Structure 1
Protein backbone atom coordinates (compact mmCIF):
# COMPACT_ATOMS: atom_id res chain seq x y z
CA UNK A 1 0.00 0.00 0.00
CA UNK A 2 1.13 3.52 -0.80
CA UNK A 3 -0.04 6.18 1.66
CA UNK A 4 -0.80 9.69 0.37
CA UNK A 5 -1.77 12.69 2.53
CA UNK A 6 -3.95 15.43 1.03
CA UNK A 7 -5.10 18.79 2.34
CA UNK A 8 -8.21 20.26 0.82
CA UNK A 9 -8.86 24.00 0.89
CA UNK A 10 -11.85 26.10 1.98
CA UNK A 11 -14.67 25.78 -0.55
CA UNK A 12 -13.45 22.46 -2.00
CA UNK A 13 -16.11 19.82 -2.52
CA UNK A 14 -14.87 16.95 -0.33
CA UNK A 15 -16.33 14.04 -2.28
CA UNK A 16 -15.75 15.53 -5.74
CA UNK A 17 -12.12 16.33 -4.86
CA UNK A 18 -11.43 12.77 -3.67
CA UNK A 19 -13.08 11.25 -6.76
CA UNK A 20 -11.16 13.61 -9.08
CA UNK A 21 -7.88 12.80 -7.32
CA UNK A 22 -8.52 9.05 -7.60
CA UNK A 23 -9.33 9.43 -11.30
CA UNK A 24 -5.83 10.86 -11.84
CA UNK A 25 -4.08 7.85 -10.29
CA UNK A 26 -2.68 4.85 -12.17
CA UNK A 27 -3.77 2.67 -9.26
CA UNK A 28 -7.43 1.67 -9.55
CA UNK A 29 -8.14 0.91 -5.88
CA UNK A 30 -7.96 3.17 -2.87
CA UNK A 31 -9.30 3.70 0.63
CA UNK A 32 -9.62 6.43 3.19
CA UNK A 33 -7.33 5.83 6.15
CA UNK A 34 -8.25 8.95 8.14
CA UNK A 35 -9.76 12.39 7.75
CA UNK A 36 -10.41 15.41 9.95
CA UNK A 37 -11.42 18.96 9.20
CA UNK A 38 -14.59 20.97 8.83
CA UNK A 39 -17.50 21.62 6.47
CA UNK A 40 -19.91 24.51 5.94
CA UNK A 41 -22.37 22.39 3.98
CA UNK A 42 -22.89 18.65 4.17
CA UNK A 43 -24.86 16.65 1.64
CA UNK A 44 -25.77 13.36 3.31
CA UNK A 45 -27.87 10.51 1.96
CA UNK A 46 -29.38 8.67 4.88
CA UNK A 47 -30.01 4.91 4.77
CA UNK A 48 -32.93 4.07 2.51
CA UNK A 49 -33.32 7.62 1.22
CA UNK A 50 -33.37 8.33 -2.50
CA UNK A 51 -32.06 11.90 -2.21
CA UNK A 52 -29.45 13.72 -0.14
CA UNK A 53 -30.31 15.97 2.79
CA UNK A 54 -28.54 19.33 3.01
CA UNK A 55 -27.14 20.46 6.36
CA UNK A 56 -25.85 24.05 6.53
CA UNK A 57 -23.83 25.00 9.60
CA UNK A 58 -20.29 24.77 10.92
CA UNK A 59 -19.51 21.05 11.12
CA UNK A 60 -16.44 19.18 12.34
CA UNK A 61 -15.38 16.04 10.45
CA UNK A 62 -14.94 13.34 13.10
CA UNK A 63 -14.31 10.50 10.67
CA UNK A 64 -14.48 9.55 7.02
CA UNK A 65 -14.29 5.99 5.74
CA UNK A 66 -14.72 4.28 2.41
CA UNK A 67 -13.36 3.00 -0.85
CA UNK A 68 -12.25 4.87 -3.96
CA UNK A 69 -12.11 3.64 -7.54
CA UNK A 70 -11.68 5.35 -10.87
CA UNK A 71 -15.43 4.99 -11.48
CA UNK A 72 -16.72 6.20 -8.15
CA UNK A 73 -16.49 6.16 -4.39
CA UNK A 74 -18.45 4.83 -1.45
CA UNK A 75 -17.85 7.16 1.47
CA UNK A 76 -19.43 7.44 4.93
CA UNK A 77 -18.81 10.48 7.11
CA UNK A 78 -19.42 11.32 10.76
CA UNK A 79 -19.86 15.00 11.65
CA UNK A 80 -20.50 17.06 14.79
CA UNK A 81 -22.26 20.42 14.83
CA UNK A 82 -21.31 23.37 17.07
CA UNK A 83 -23.38 21.84 19.92
CA UNK A 84 -21.60 18.50 19.67
CA UNK A 85 -24.57 16.73 18.12
CA UNK A 86 -23.21 13.90 15.95
CA UNK A 87 -24.68 12.77 12.64
CA UNK A 88 -23.41 10.60 9.85
CA UNK A 89 -24.29 8.84 6.63
CA UNK A 90 -23.28 8.57 2.97
CA UNK A 91 -21.17 11.55 1.85
CA UNK A 92 -22.55 13.13 -1.33
CA UNK A 93 -21.23 15.71 -3.79
CA UNK A 94 -21.82 19.25 -2.58
CA UNK A 95 -20.21 18.87 0.87
CA UNK A 96 -17.98 21.93 1.13
CA UNK A 97 -14.80 22.34 3.20
CA UNK A 98 -14.94 25.17 5.76
CA UNK A 99 -11.31 25.61 6.94
CA UNK A 100 -9.51 22.43 5.96
CA UNK A 101 -9.88 18.74 5.28
CA UNK A 102 -6.81 16.69 6.10
CA UNK A 103 -7.21 13.31 4.45
CA UNK A 104 -4.85 10.33 4.44
CA UNK A 105 -5.50 7.91 1.58
CA UNK A 106 -4.20 4.45 0.82
CA UNK A 107 -3.54 3.30 -2.74
CA UNK A 108 -3.71 -0.47 -3.31
CA UNK A 109 -1.78 -1.19 -6.54
CA UNK A 110 -2.30 -4.96 -6.36
CA UNK A 111 -6.09 -4.53 -6.60
CA UNK A 112 -8.69 -3.10 -8.99
CA UNK A 113 -11.89 -1.69 -7.55
CA UNK A 114 -14.81 -1.26 -9.94
CA UNK A 115 -18.43 -0.34 -9.44
CA UNK A 116 -20.99 -2.42 -11.30
CA UNK A 117 -24.77 -2.55 -11.08
CA UNK A 118 -25.86 -5.29 -8.70
CA UNK A 119 -29.36 -6.50 -9.66
CA UNK A 120 -29.97 -7.61 -6.07
CA UNK A 121 -29.46 -4.10 -4.62
CA UNK A 122 -30.14 -1.88 -7.63
CA UNK A 123 -26.93 0.04 -6.90
CA UNK A 124 -23.45 0.20 -8.40
CA UNK A 125 -21.62 -2.01 -5.91
CA UNK A 126 -17.92 -2.64 -5.35
CA UNK A 127 -16.23 -5.38 -7.38
CA UNK A 128 -12.84 -6.40 -5.95
CA UNK A 129 -10.36 -7.84 -8.46
CA UNK A 130 -6.84 -9.04 -7.72
CA UNK A 131 -4.53 -7.79 -10.48
CA UNK A 132 -2.32 -10.35 -12.15
CA UNK A 133 1.40 -10.07 -11.43
CA UNK A 134 2.34 -10.42 -15.12
Structure 2
Protein backbone atom coordinates (compact mmCIF):
# COMPACT_ATOMS: atom_id res chain seq x y z
CA UNK A 1 0.00 0.00 0.00
CA UNK A 2 1.20 3.48 -0.83
CA UNK A 3 -0.26 6.74 0.28
CA UNK A 4 0.17 10.39 1.09
CA UNK A 5 -1.73 12.56 3.53
CA UNK A 6 -2.33 16.26 3.99
CA UNK A 7 -4.24 18.52 6.33
CA UNK A 8 -7.84 19.27 5.50
CA UNK A 9 -6.90 22.94 5.84
CA UNK A 10 -4.59 22.44 2.82
CA UNK A 11 -7.57 21.54 0.60
CA UNK A 12 -9.12 24.25 -1.52
CA UNK A 13 -12.48 23.66 -3.19
CA UNK A 14 -13.30 25.02 -6.62
CA UNK A 15 -16.79 24.97 -8.14
CA UNK A 16 -16.89 25.09 -11.94
CA UNK A 17 -19.55 24.88 -14.61
CA UNK A 18 -18.89 23.37 -18.01
CA UNK A 19 -21.24 24.74 -20.64
CA UNK A 20 -23.22 22.99 -23.38
CA UNK A 21 -21.01 21.23 -25.92
CA UNK A 22 -17.96 21.05 -23.65
CA UNK A 23 -16.06 17.77 -23.48
CA UNK A 24 -16.46 16.65 -19.85
CA UNK A 25 -13.07 14.94 -19.44
CA UNK A 26 -11.06 17.51 -21.42
CA UNK A 27 -12.82 20.34 -19.54
CA UNK A 28 -11.85 18.88 -16.18
CA UNK A 29 -8.25 18.47 -17.33
CA UNK A 30 -8.14 22.09 -18.51
CA UNK A 31 -9.57 23.40 -15.24
CA UNK A 32 -7.12 21.32 -13.17
CA UNK A 33 -4.11 22.27 -15.31
CA UNK A 34 -4.92 25.96 -14.78
CA UNK A 35 -4.68 25.62 -10.97
CA UNK A 36 -1.49 25.90 -8.89
CA UNK A 37 -2.22 22.66 -6.99
CA UNK A 38 -0.84 19.39 -8.39
CA UNK A 39 -3.28 16.98 -6.73
CA UNK A 40 -7.03 16.97 -7.10
CA UNK A 41 -10.21 14.96 -6.77
CA UNK A 42 -13.85 15.24 -7.72
CA UNK A 43 -15.91 16.14 -4.65
CA UNK A 44 -19.32 16.50 -6.33
CA UNK A 45 -20.81 16.56 -9.82
CA UNK A 46 -24.22 16.88 -11.47
CA UNK A 47 -25.31 17.70 -14.97
CA UNK A 48 -26.40 16.26 -18.28
CA UNK A 49 -24.79 14.91 -21.43
CA UNK A 50 -25.79 14.56 -25.07
CA UNK A 51 -23.41 11.62 -25.36
CA UNK A 52 -21.22 9.69 -22.92
CA UNK A 53 -17.88 8.14 -23.84
CA UNK A 54 -17.13 5.23 -21.51
CA UNK A 55 -14.62 2.42 -21.41
CA UNK A 56 -16.21 -0.44 -19.53
CA UNK A 57 -14.24 -2.55 -17.04
CA UNK A 58 -11.75 -4.84 -18.75
CA UNK A 59 -12.73 -3.71 -22.24
CA UNK A 60 -10.34 -2.00 -24.66
CA UNK A 61 -12.91 -0.15 -26.77
CA UNK A 62 -14.70 3.10 -25.93
CA UNK A 63 -18.50 2.95 -26.07
CA UNK A 64 -20.48 6.01 -27.05
CA UNK A 65 -23.89 6.15 -25.38
CA UNK A 66 -26.40 8.53 -26.95
CA UNK A 67 -28.40 10.80 -24.67
CA UNK A 68 -30.05 12.65 -23.26
CA UNK A 69 -28.25 11.44 -20.13
CA UNK A 70 -28.10 12.61 -16.52
CA UNK A 71 -24.80 12.57 -14.64
CA UNK A 72 -25.60 10.71 -11.44
CA UNK A 73 -22.03 10.08 -10.34
CA UNK A 74 -18.54 11.25 -11.21
CA UNK A 75 -15.56 10.32 -9.10
CA UNK A 76 -11.85 10.24 -9.52
CA UNK A 77 -8.50 11.86 -9.12
CA UNK A 78 -6.61 14.48 -11.13
CA UNK A 79 -2.83 14.29 -11.34
CA UNK A 80 0.11 15.85 -13.15
CA UNK A 81 0.07 12.73 -15.36
CA UNK A 82 -3.64 12.92 -16.17
CA UNK A 83 -6.95 11.96 -14.60
CA UNK A 84 -8.56 8.70 -13.57
CA UNK A 85 -12.30 9.35 -13.70
CA UNK A 86 -15.36 7.10 -13.46
CA UNK A 87 -18.75 8.27 -14.67
CA UNK A 88 -22.24 6.93 -13.96
CA UNK A 89 -25.13 8.16 -16.11
CA UNK A 90 -28.84 7.47 -16.22
CA UNK A 91 -30.62 7.02 -19.51
CA UNK A 92 -34.00 8.60 -20.22
CA UNK A 93 -35.75 5.41 -19.02
CA UNK A 94 -33.83 5.44 -15.72
CA UNK A 95 -31.39 2.63 -16.48
CA UNK A 96 -27.83 3.36 -15.43
CA UNK A 97 -24.47 2.74 -17.04
CA UNK A 98 -20.99 3.50 -15.85
CA UNK A 99 -17.32 3.12 -16.64
CA UNK A 100 -14.09 5.01 -17.20
CA UNK A 101 -14.81 8.51 -18.52
CA UNK A 102 -13.07 9.01 -21.86
CA UNK A 103 -12.74 11.98 -24.23
CA UNK A 104 -15.90 12.67 -26.20
CA UNK A 105 -18.58 12.95 -23.48
CA UNK A 106 -20.43 16.15 -24.37
CA UNK A 107 -22.29 18.40 -21.93
CA UNK A 108 -25.96 18.87 -22.79
CA UNK A 109 -27.20 21.72 -20.53
CA UNK A 110 -24.62 21.95 -17.76
CA UNK A 111 -21.98 20.09 -15.78
CA UNK A 112 -21.57 21.52 -12.29
CA UNK A 113 -18.46 20.11 -10.63
CA UNK A 114 -16.76 20.75 -7.32
CA UNK A 115 -13.07 19.88 -7.26
CA UNK A 116 -10.93 19.40 -4.16
CA UNK A 117 -7.39 20.69 -4.71
CA UNK A 118 -4.63 19.76 -2.28
CA UNK A 119 -1.76 22.18 -1.63
CA UNK A 120 1.66 20.72 -0.91
CA UNK A 121 0.86 17.34 -2.50
CA UNK A 122 1.62 15.96 -5.97
CA UNK A 123 -0.41 13.14 -7.49
CA UNK A 124 1.45 11.16 -10.17
CA UNK A 125 0.71 8.02 -12.20
CA UNK A 126 3.79 5.83 -12.65
CA UNK A 127 3.34 2.46 -14.32
CA UNK A 128 2.80 -0.25 -11.71
CA UNK A 129 4.69 -3.39 -12.83
CA UNK A 130 2.14 -5.59 -11.03
CA UNK A 131 -0.83 -4.25 -13.05
CA UNK A 132 0.79 -2.78 -16.15
CA UNK A 133 -1.30 0.36 -15.66
CA UNK A 134 -0.43 3.90 -14.62
CA UNK A 135 -1.61 3.86 -11.00
CA UNK A 136 -1.98 6.72 -8.52
CA UNK A 137 0.99 7.68 -6.39
CA UNK A 138 1.31 10.71 -4.17
CA UNK A 139 4.15 12.61 -2.59
CA UNK A 140 4.72 15.81 -0.73
CA UNK A 141 5.67 18.64 -3.01
| Bin for the TM-score computed over the shorter chain | over 0.9
* In 1, Cα distance between equivalents of 2:46 and 2:31: 18
Aligned partner (choices 74, 77, 96) of residue 64 of structure 1: 74
- Note the 1:90-129 alignment, pairs <5 A: 90-129=100-139
Aligned to 1:32: 42
How far is the alpha carbon of 1:10 from its aligned partner? 0.3
In structure 2, list runs of 5 or more residues that go unmatched. 1-10
CA-based RMSD: 0.9
Q: Is the 8 A contact 2:32 2:40 kept in 1?
A: yes
Which TM-score applies when normalising by structure 1?
0.94
Aligned to 1:54: 64
Between Structure 1 and Structure 2, which shows a larger proportion of strand residues? 1
Q: Number of residues paired by the alignment? A: 131
Aligned to 1:44: 54
How far is the alpha carbon of 1:49 from its aligned partner? 0.7
Q: Which SS does the other structure have where 1:57 is aligned? A: strand
Which TM-score applies when normalising by structure 2?
0.90
In structure 1, list runs of 5 or more residues that go unmatched. none
- The ranges of structure 1 where at least 4 consecutive aligned residues each deviate by more than 4 angstroms after the TM superposition are none
How far is the alpha carbon of 1:62 from its aligned partner? 0.5
CA displacement 1:52-88 (0-9 Å, x = unmatched): 1111120000011100012200101110010000111
Q: Is the 8 A contact 1:19 1:70 kept in 2?
A: no
